[in-house]
Structure 1
């Protein structure tokens, strides 16, 4: 048969011989003649191994992150958080229970005095730590935890979280949780956004790290250094069942915060308030 009498498809295939190799062209021509698609044969190793290879392929690879549940594949975008149908925190026998919380520490100058006052009156409080401060004051972090106080996450560098990308929020919260867990042996279960500025990213990322957000109901504004009497007055006027008081033990001159606690804490206890920390359900 002359070249100009060959079917176009067969002529094209033969022209590919030099580039693809004779064996490849033979298979392609055979497929064209039979009118059936070409199927690549299984590698010899797979044929020899048989069911063992198939069994191995059903197991997750060691270097791959596994989903939290076997039934759900990993997602690259976070799911919409479920709507809560019940509180995620509770104050047992709430009565006249209150919560005292301190942000930005620990500070080696002020935090020990606050801990001394709390220990003197045998009460527990919440400390929302900045990661960089915790990293530089590990002994204080251990003391906070060892004395029964709740250690929370307050980001690494105290940024305005709403201005950060998702990766930025993850870094700020993740690094802080890691250093707290390294020092205390347990990751924090609570976090508080710097400046109280939350957004969807921080809620979702915090939840993914196993933390619940904690805000406040009474702001002492002690960071403005308004005077000890002013801080005491704000706490006394805002006192009530379930109230969460915001104060600071670092981030500036906190001598007024230390002095104010020495005044209002015994007064609250004398008035029948029970100073405690919330429990997760």
Structure 2
């Protein structure tokens, strides 16, 4: 069976797809896709994997929004790491044709992304090493008020946070549930989706929720230069501010990825690193009951809870959310925005 190779690059306005066959011939006309049309893009890619050909999809490490929905759909998705590729342009990922060619000429160099391990499949040791070396710097930032992990433990409130949106399907469902319980939350949005789905961003703000910055394209931050990191943050903040009139200073790093170099790059940026202390692990899609239990067995007064409503199939998160909120209310814990949590006293 022949293989087709689809390189997918992100640009400021959407995704660029180029497809080649085993011989390097163009197997489909280059196409551009709006970020709100990912479901259609997946269907189009599925059609390319016909009975005569298989399909390999290649992304780079700065494109962290597509692997979730694509692996959930059963597509074969691979990551080409920076040391295999030419330098990225000032804004955007490695070009799509170069990604497709990397897949065609050197498939063994690629990391296959799996649904249970996510975008960083194969780079977990590196990820954890970066986190460990960042720990003392992060602690100092927390002491200085530049990093927020949880609120005061004597408060009777909890911050629910949702990453990777807005999403054309799941954000509205999450907002409907929050409205049913008169609950408030913080949405850490990616700029790529903010620019593509402005009405959802306006609705989040209009219904009393908080908007945070989750980068533009959901990259693995240690792969960025200082200027690239700042541009990811600044463009996302500008997009949110244009729509809501309110700038955001809260930044949540994709994957929670940090390194000493990333923290040094953030030292002169006017953002507050916003992490979490309760992880639902909903991105692994373990089932709504497991997601609920992951939250309710570890949450404490003042906790910041990590959930997702974008960049994948978030049906289980939506199904779990009512039980999570009801479990919090039963414990007299009110869901609020992160900024509404009283700060913890200095250690």
User: How far has the Cα of 1:86 moved from its partner?
Assistant: 5.4
SS in 1 for 2:193: helix
Query: 2:225 matched to which residue of 1?
Result: 165
1:104-133 Cα distance to aligned partner (Å, 9 max, x none):
000010001111111111111110000001
- Pick from 248, 255, 276 the counterpart of residue 188 of structure 1: 248
Ranges in structure 1 where 5+ consecutive residues have no aligned partner: 1-79
- If each structure's helix is expressed as a fraction of its own residues, which one has the higher value? 1
Quote the RMSD (CA, aligned, Å).
2.4
Q: Is 1:147 aligned with 2:207?
A: yes
Matched residue, 2:193: 133
CA shift in 2, pair 1:120/1:206, >3 Å: farther
2:270 paired with 1:198? no
Partners of 1:152 and 1:192 within 8 A in 2: yes
Q: Is 2:160 the partner of 1:104? A: no
Contact 1:91 1:279 in 2 (8 A): no
Deviations, residues 93-152 of structure 1 (Å, cap 9, x unaligned)? 943321110000000100011111111111111100000011111000011111111100
Q: State the match for 1:254 in structure 2.
A: 314
For 1:87 and 1:178, the matched residues in 2 are separated by 23
SS at match of 1:103: strand
Q: Which residue of 2 aligns with 1:277?
A: 337
**Unmatched tracts of structure 2, length 5 or more:** 1-136
What TM-score, normalized by structure 2, do the two folds share?
0.54
Kept in 2: contact 1:106–1:137 (CA 8 A): yes
Quick check: 2:230–2:269 contact (8 Å CA) kept in 1?
A: no
Select the structure of larger CA radius of gyration.
1
What is the distance in 2 between the residues matched to 1:143 and 1:94? 32
Partner of 2:302: 242
CA shift, 1:247, in A, is 0.6
Give the Cα–Cα distance (whole angstroms) in 2 for the partners of residues 85 and 225 of structure 1: 35
Q: Mean Cα displacement is larger for which, 182-191 or 90-99?
A: 90-99
CA 1:144–1:83 in structure 2 vs 1: closer, same or farther (change >3 Å)? Answer: closer
Q: Work out the number of aligned pairs and report it.
A: 202
| CA displacement, residues 132-186 of structure 1 (integer Å, 9 cap, x when unaligned) | 0111110000111111111000000000001111111112111111111111112
More divergent stretch after superposition (134-143 vs 264-273): 264-273
- Give secondary structure in 2 for the equivalent of 1:279: helix
Q: CA deviation at 1:201?
A: 4.8
Tell me by how many angstroms 1:204 deviates: 4.9
Once the 2 structures are TM-superposed, how far is the Cα of residue 187 of structure 1 from its aligned partner?
Answer: 1.4
